[in-house]
Amino acid sequence: MVRTPLTPEERERGERLGRLLREARGARSMTDVAASAGISAETLRKIETGRAPTPAFFTVAALAGALGLSMDDLIGRCAPEIPDVPDAPDASIAA
């Protein structure tokens, strides 16, 4: 099975997730946080550096729990910013 390449947006989202997790980890060691989340320190390192930009949901949930972050906060801070476009038609309104 061949995996399709990630889009630039997916890579950028993975980098934002990594930065957020690194900031939330603060002075705690990577080994301590990884053990608390039940993952390897190498997996955490890959996520934090963006080398694993699309980690599994349960991995992210475990890291969020270990770091005291809510999934809502993670989603809000990792989602791409959508610029406001004035006078754009509302796609949800049928013509």
Q: What is the pLDDT of residues 53-88, one digit of tens each?
A: 889 999 999 999 999 999 998 888 887 666 665 665
pTM of structure: 0.76
Q: Per-residue confidence at 93, pLDDT binned at 50, 70, 90?
A: low
Q: What is the pLDDT of residue 33?
A: 96
Tokens of 39: 């993952």
Q: What is the pLDDT of residue 67?
A: 94
How far apart, in whole angstroms, are the C-alpha atoms of residue 21 and residue 82? 22
How far apart, in whole angstroms, are the C-alpha atoms of residue 11 and residue 5? 10
Residue of 39, 38, 43, 52 whose CA lies nearest to 10: 52
